[in-house]
A and B are shown apart, each in its own frame.
Chain A
Amino acid sequence: MKKVMVEHLKYRYPGTEKLALDDVSFEVEEGELIGIVGRNLSGKSTLAQAIVGLVPHFYRGAYGGKVIVDGIEVLHSTVSDISRKAGIVFQNPFTQVTGSKLTVYEEVAFGLENLGVPRSEMMERIDEALTLLGIYDFRHANPFDLSGGQMQRMAIASIIAMRPEVIILDEPTSQLDPQGTEEVFLAVQRLSREGMTVLLIEHKLEKVARYADKVLWLDEGKVMAYDSPSKVFSRDDLEEHGLAAPIYTQICKALKLKSPDGETYPVTLEGAYEVLKRWN
């Protein structure tokens, strides 16, 4: 079943001339993990916010085309209604803390209170989300006392507890140290294994190659490619558009070592290892 359908989406922020999204179309199936890549200012965050309805409902601006999330059209709903369908996690873990709650447990409850979820169900959902993200032991801690990685996992738990069909993560690790990054990636992987539909915006293409089923490549608000990581990262025009292929791909390309399919280059460490072994 299709969870996200974007059809000919065009969007311009108020007070700007340039289209931030220019005729973007793609579809996401239930349970897929989609990596969204592209150089700076290519429109990744704008696209993410268009799926949860912040574009256009929060920013306003000129909007054309359609975004449909689990059957509802974003343009004709409100951000709070869409929040039951699609959740988003931002870069900065700090600014996602509401600042009105004294414990992690209460913090995760915030969205559920707003949506009017009954109390007993609320606690069940919070326990589940905290356990899934591995922060159940910190449930009584003050949100501001957590480390960056823990705080970001709390932000993810806060969204997961709202039980959306789709979760979008906008560079969730770009402000974290290596340990926090690792914690968050493991958590994302676990969500995906649980059957969640995940859209992950990420600059580190090695990570995308390793986790994503498909890659959506944006440049100047347009879709450059929407395909498997190996197909996208084997393209020759990546560098021209400000992207560097995963290091494994670069090595194999330099050695002219293609994957067994004869068309693409390996994009992961394992893939590179396989072809290098055979080459030896």
Chain B
Amino acid sequence: MKSISLYVDRQSFLHRIDPISKIYYIVAAILVPILYPSLTVAFAVMVISLILLFLGKVIRQTLSVYGFVFLVLITVLIIQTLFYPGNETPVYRIGQVVLYREGFFYALTISFRVINIVTSFLILVFTTRSADLVESLVRKGLSPRFGYVIASVFQIVPEMMSAMGRITDAQRSRGMETEGKLSVRMKAFLPLIGPVVLSSLLNVKERALALEVRGFNAKGKKTFLNEEKNFLAPTAVQWSLLAVILIAIIWRIIQ
């Protein structure tokens, strides 16, 4: 069974941190550099995030994400260094092209922030089971219906993809071209998508009925099969992160 979950099963302290704390960390990692708009802070928080990701032992799995992010950031760096409106101090000249200091540092700050945000999300996504995340959120008061939608996306999307695979095989065995040039593939795609969409639409009503008779809309309090996992000091971690966020906000106000 394929799964679209990006979770990587490792033994690390990050895997033992509860999902809610990781969400707090994302909030802190985004807010703090915004509240202290300095290059040093952006850099420091980014380094902390990267170290965490490293300690989570999932760096290797995330490299392709960084590849894409760097591609985008290099473009930003070039454009800002050349055309940032606040550009004043030229540092380098290549023929007609002038590189400016202000634009360069502006782009660098953006880059640090982006890498920081991406990394803090990667920490959550790569070291947390999607089911654990949803369950923690529902325990915290997220509506179980919404929780169901999130959880089922992780399961049903791969299911739909394998349905697609089955139908492709069926169509191909009847002589349809599904590989090769883009135009060929586009033509093959339309008759393919029909059955998949149709069958999933029909399934929606049936699944709704099946959920309904299993008490999906029951009023009273729900219980959980799984015991609340024994995460590493969730309260302490969460309060510390909250404290960091609060201090940053207070600092900002009294400034």
Contact = CB atoms under 8 A, between A and B. Distances in A.
A113 B203 contact: no
A142 B213 CA distance: 22
Contacts of B207: 95-96, 98-99
Interface in B172-217: 203, 206-217
A145 B147 CA distance: 23
Interface stretch (B29-37, B83-91, B107-115, B218-226): B218-226
Interface in A130-159: 142, 144-145, 155, 158-159
A109 B223 CA distance: 10
B214 A111 contact: yes
Chain A interface size, under 10 / 10 to 19 / 20 to 34 / 35 or more? 35 or more
B222 A80 contact: no
A237 to B, nearest CB: 33
Interface stretch (A68-76, A84-92, A206-214, A217-225): A84-92
A158 B214 contact: yes
Interface in A256-280: none
Contact of A115 (B148, B203, B218): B218
Contact of B151 (A88, A100, A123, A155): A100
> Is chain A's binding surface mostly helix, strand, loop or mixed?
helix
A280 to B, nearest CB: 50
A80 B212 CA distance: 7
Contact of B223 (A80, A113, A126): A113
Q: Which 9 A-B pairs have the closest CB atoms?
A: A114-B215, A111-B214, A80-B218, A100-B151, A95-B206, A109-B225, A99-B152, A96-B210, A100-B152
Interface of B: 1, 131, 134, 144, 147-148, 151-152, 155-156, 159, 203, 206-227
30 contacts: A58-B208, A78-B217, A79-B212, A80-B215, A80-B218, A83-B218, A88-B213, A90-B210, A92-B206, A95-B207, A99-B152, A100-B147, A100-B151, A101-B131, A105-B225, A106-B226, A111-B214, A113-B222, A114-B144, A114-B214, A115-B215, A115-B218, A115-B220, A116-B221, A123-B225, A126-B225, A142-B1, A144-B159, A155-B210, A158-B214
Interface of A: 49, 52, 54, 58, 78-81, 83, 87-88, 90, 92, 94-96, 98-102, 105-106, 109-119, 122-123, 126, 142, 144-145, 155, 158-159, 162
